[in-house]
A = this chain, B = another copy of it.
Amino acid sequence: MANELIFAALADPTRRRVFEQLAARPSSVTALARTLPVSRPAVSQHLKVLSDAGLVTVRAEGTRRIYRAAPDQLADLRDWLDRMWSNALNAFAEAAEKERQK
């Protein structure tokens, strides 16, 4: 499943904070690192993971690199979520039906 990269990317709390900040507003690597309790290289590595998962995009601006959240990939996550939801509800309905037939 192609979702694997997305799940892995969003699994780490620090990485989620990076993504949440980028969803609020595009930002450079150093600006992100200033607001987080980790070093700049750490942020850079997290951004690589997010980028490989297609969750962020980059745009060079002079010597700085502006990262942005790319919400499209979240659609896969939503699809998985909806599928699980309806499956679970169906299973529950079936169980209730069996129960009723007794």
User: What is A's interface to B at a CB cutoff of 8 Å?
Assistant: 4, 7-8, 10-11, 13, 16, 19-20, 22-26, 68-71, 74, 77-78, 81, 84-85, 87-89, 91-92, 94-95
Contacts A7-B16, A13-B4 given; indicate if A23 touches B84 (C-beta within 8 A).
yes
Q: Tell me whether chain A's interface is mostly helix, strand or loop, or mixed.
A: helix
> Cα distance A89–B26 when bound, in Å?
12
Q: Which one of A20, A23, A92 has the highest number of Cβ atoms from chain B below 10 Å of its Cβ?
A: A23
Query: Which residues on B sit within 8 Å (CB–CB) of A85?
Result: 71, 74
Contact of A84 among B69, B81, B89, B91 (CB under 8 A): B69
Contacts A26-B95, A87-B23 given; indicate if A11 touches B13 (C-beta within 8 A).
no
